[in-house]
Amino acid sequence: MCGIFACHKHPKVHEFKPQALQLAKAIRHRGPDWSGNIIANDTILVHERLSIVGIDSGAQPLVNKEGTLFLAVNGEIYNHRILRKQLGDKAEFLTHSDCEVILHLYKEHDINTPKLLDGMFSFVLYDKENDRTIAARDPIGVTTFYQGWSSENPSAVYFASELKCLHPVCDKIISFPPGHVYDSATGKTTRYHDPTWWEPTRVPSNPVDYKLIRNTLEKAVRKRLMAEVPYGVLLSGGLDSSLIASIAARETARAKAMGKLAVENGQIAPQHKLVGIDENDDYSTITALPELHSFSIGLVGSPDTIAAKKVADYLGTVHHEFNFTLEEGLDALRDVIYHLETYDVTTIRASTPMYLLSRKIKAQGVKMVLSGEGSDEVYGGYLYFVNAPNKEEFHAETVGRIKNLHLADCLRANKSTSAWGVEARVPFLDKEFLEVSMNIDPAEKEIKNGRMEKYILRQAFDTTNEPDVEPYLPAEILWRQKEQFSDGVGYGWIDILKDTAAKMVTDEQLANPKPEWGTDIPDSKEAYWYRCMFDEQFPAQCASTVMRWTPKWSNQTDPSGRAIATHVAKYESAV
C-alpha cells in the first residue's frame, strides 16, 4: 500500500505546500520507501510510496512525456501487462510501474478509465491542460480513500488515503464511495462499477458450478502474485486463509518450475521477476521464487494457531507463528484505533492481532501478503446467516455486506497491514470471482439441511472424488467450523476486552452518552470505551465515515461468532 494526499484548486497552493507535505507525512507508514510531490496550476499531488512493482522506476507522482498529466496512485493494477499490450504503439511508457497505464488510458478513455482496470486502487489524476482532476476508487474499496472540503477554501477539494491527512484542513469528510469516479469538471461523483449482482432484489438462479468456483479463485490468486519483493500469506487456519495459502503454494511451485525451465532453455535471464499474468492467463515473466512463507498469530494455544500449524505443515510453507499476550493487545488498542480510524467493535477486536502480526511480518522483510477477507460476505459464512428467513433475504444481506466491506473488513485488512508498510491483497474480492459467486442461486449457500456455512466453497475444493488431484487441504481444515478472527486468536481476547471495558466505563456513563454523538450511541461499555479513544484522536467530522455493525436476524448485539447459538464453543461454555 502507498499513501496519497491531493488538493485540487487550492487558492494559495505554493504557500500550502509545506503543510501538504506535513499532512502526507502522517501516512508515511503506508509508503516508507519514497516521497514525491508535484504542483501544477493550483493543484498539488503528494505520494508516499511502498515499492512492490516497478521498484526501479516507479516513483510517484507519475508524469506523462508531455508533462501535462500527473498521477498519484495507491494500489496495484493486476492487468497492467494486458493493457500495455492493448495500447501498443499509441503509448510511450517511461517506467515499469503497473500504475502508469492509467495515464495512457485516460487519453483515450477519459472518465471511463477505471472501468478498464482490474486491481485494487485509489488514484488522483490531474490534467494540466484542462485544469481538471479525476479521482477514483476500486470497485469494492479494498484500498482506503477519503474526500474532504474546507469552508475556509470552498473552491478546493481534498483527497487522501487516511482521515489523519484531512481532518486538520477539512471540516467535511466522506469515505469516497467504492466503484465511483469524481470529475472536477462537473463536480459530480458517478458510479462506474456496474456488476450484474449489484441490485439486491435481483435474486440469481444459476446452479452451482464447483469447477468454475475453483478455477476463478485460482486465477484470482495468480493475479495477486504480481510482485518484485518477498511475499507471504496470512494463515489463520480457517477455511478462507487456508484455501488462499494452498492455492498460493501451488502457484509458487508452478512458477518456480516454469522459471527454472525457462532459464535452462535460455528464454529468460535468471534475474527476471514475476510481475503479472498475460492475456493467456499465464505468467509473463518468471523468477525462481523462494519458498512460500506463512504467518499466524494468537494467544498461546489458540484455535487458529493450532489449525494454522496443521495447514502450514501440510502445505510445506515456511511458517512463522507468533503469540501475543492479553496485556500486549490491550496496550496496542489506542494505536490500533489511530491507524484504523474507526470505533466499530468487531473491527477493532479483529484488527489488534492483525496489527501486531503485521509488525512481525515487516520485521521479516516481507512487503506483501495474501489474505482471506471477503469470503464470508460472498458466501454468507458468518454464523448469523443460519437465521436468514429465506434465500431472498440471505442474498440481499450478502450484497449489502459486500457493499459495506470498505467500512469493515477491507478497512481492517488495509489499515492494519499498512500501519507497518505491508500490503494485503484479497483474492476473494476479485471482480471475476464475484461475478461467478454472486450469480449462484442463494439457496445453494443457505446454512440448512445439514449443510455448514460456505458449503459450496468447501465442496469446490474437496477432491475426494478426484483421485488424480492432490487434496488442497486436510479434511479437518476444509470442513472446520467458522471462527471469526477475533475469536480464533483465543477466546480470552474478547473476554479481556469486555472485562477491561467494564472497569473503564461506569453504568452512569453508558446510560448518559455524550450529546455530540447524536443517534450514534454505543450499546455496550466496550463500544463506549472505543468511541472515547476515537474521540481523543479524531475530531467530530471524522465520525461520519464510521459504520458500526451488529449481526442481523439475532437478538445479540455482540458481533462475536460465539454469540451465535450454533457456534460449538458458545460464550457460556467457552474457556
The residue type found at 216 is T
Residues 162 and 249 in one domain: no
- Cα–Cα distance for residue pair 113/73, rounded to 1 Å: 14
Map grid coordinates 455530540 to a residue. Answer: 516
Q: Is residue 196 part of a domain?
A: no
pLDDT band at residue 550, thresholds of 50, 70 and 90? confident
> Which of the pair, 109 or 562, is modelled with greater confidence?
109
> Which of the pair, 168 or 258, is modelled with greater confidence?
168
Closest by CA to 416, choosing from 496, 327, 364, 349, is: 349
Apex 353 CA angle, 543 and 565, nearest 5: 85
The pLDDT value recorded for residue 200 is 97
When pLDDT is averaged across residues 306-319 and rounded to a whole number, the result is 95
Q: Is residue 200 part of a domain?
A: no
The pLDDT value recorded for residue 315 is 97
All three cell numbers of 246, joined, read 494452498
Q: Is residue 202 part of a domain?
A: no
pLDDT at 404 over 90: yes
- 98 is an annotated ligand-binding site residue: yes
Pairing of strands 231-234, 293-298: parallel
Among the listed ranges 450-459, 481-490, 498-507, which one has the minimum average pLDDT value?
Answer: 481-490
Is the whole model's pTM more than 0.85, yes or no?
yes
pLDDT at 559 over 90: no
- 234 is an annotated ligand-binding site residue: yes
When pLDDT is averaged across residues 141-158 and rounded to a whole number, the result is 97
Q: Which residues pair with 125 in a beta bridge?
A: 71, 134
- Beta carbons of 449 and 210 less than 8 angstroms apart: no
Provide the domain count of the chain. 2
Residues 184 and 216 in one domain: no
pLDDT band at residue 290, thresholds of 50, 70 and 90? low
- 173 is an annotated ligand-binding site residue: no
Q: Is residue 365 part of a domain?
A: yes
Domain end residue (candidates: 132, 158, 191): 191
pLDDT band at residue 53, thresholds of 50, 70 and 90? confident
Residues 19 and 160 in one domain: yes
Q: What is the pLDDT of residues 504-547, one digit of tens each?
A: 999 999 999 999 999 999 999 999 999 999 999 999 999 999 99
The pLDDT value recorded for residue 519 is 94
pLDDT at 441 over 90: yes
Q: Is 130 exposed, middle or buried (0-12, 13-18, 19+ CB in 10 A)?
A: exposed
The pLDDT value recorded for residue 541 is 97
pLDDT band at residue 379, thresholds of 50, 70 and 90? very high
Find the CATH number of the domain harbouring 127.
3.60.20.10
Residues 7 and 126 in one domain: yes
- Beta carbons of 501 and 492 less than 8 angstroms apart: no
Q: Is residue 410 part of a domain?
A: yes
pLDDT band at residue 230, thresholds of 50, 70 and 90? confident
Q: Which domain holds residue 41?
A: 3-191
Average pLDDT across the chain, whole number: 91
- 297 is an annotated ligand-binding site residue: yes
The pLDDT value recorded for residue 523 is 94
The pLDDT value recorded for residue 457 is 98
The pLDDT value recorded for residue 573 is 36
The pLDDT value recorded for residue 287 is 45
Percent pLDDT > 70 in the chain is: 89
Residues 181 and 269 in one domain: no
Residues 422 and 287 in one domain: yes
The pLDDT value recorded for residue 57 is 65
6-43 burial code (b ≥16 CB/10 A, e <16): bbbbbeebeebbeebeebbebbebbbbbebbbbbbebb
pLDDT band at residue 276, thresholds of 50, 70 and 90? low
Residues 169 and 295 in one domain: no
Known catalytic membership, residue 410: no
> Which of the pair, 300 or 38, is modelled with greater confidence?
38
The pLDDT value recorded for residue 566 is 56
Domain end residue (candidates: 158, 191, 224): 191
When pLDDT is averaged across residues 245-265 and rounded to a whole number, the result is 79
Q: List strand residue ranges (DSSP E) for 299-355, in order.
A: 318-323
All three cell numbers of 271, joined, read 534475474
Q: Is residue 85 part of a domain?
A: yes
> Which of the pair, 228 or 403, is modelled with greater confidence?
403
Residue in 2, 99, 410, 542 annotated catalytic: 2
- Beta carbons of 140 and 406 less than 8 angstroms apart: yes
Domain end residue (candidates: 162, 191, 220): 191
pLDDT band at residue 208, thresholds of 50, 70 and 90? very high
Residues 178 and 221 in one domain: no
> Which of the pair, 492 or 213, is modelled with greater confidence?
213
Find the CATH number of the domain harbouring 351.
3.40.50.620
Among the listed ranges 156-170, 212-226, 325-339, 554-568, which one has the minimum average pLDDT value?
Answer: 554-568
Residues 217 and 187 in one domain: no
When pLDDT is averaged across residues 185-196 and rounded to a whole number, the result is 98
User: How far, in Å, are 66, 89, 160, 185 from residue 70 at the CA level?
Assistant: 10, 21, 16, 16
Residues 130 and 229 in one domain: no
When pLDDT is averaged across residues 219-248 and rounded to a whole number, the result is 93
pLDDT band at residue 570, thresholds of 50, 70 and 90? low
The pLDDT value recorded for residue 574 is 33
Q: Is residue 203 part of a domain?
A: no
> Which of the pair, 456 or 261, is modelled with greater confidence?
456
Q: What is the pLDDT of residues 320-376, one digit of tens each?
A: 999 999 999 999 999 999 999 999 999 999 999 999 999 999 999 999 999 999 999
Q: Is residue 62 part of a domain?
A: yes
Residues 356 and 448 in one domain: yes
Residues 168 and 296 in one domain: no
When pLDDT is averaged across residues 483-501 and rounded to a whole number, the result is 80
Return the CA Rg of the chain: 23
When pLDDT is averaged across residues 179-200 and rounded to a whole number, the result is 98
CA atoms within 13 A on the CB side of 425: 29
Percent pLDDT > 90 in the chain is: 80
When pLDDT is averaged across residues 253-259 and rounded to a whole number, the result is 77
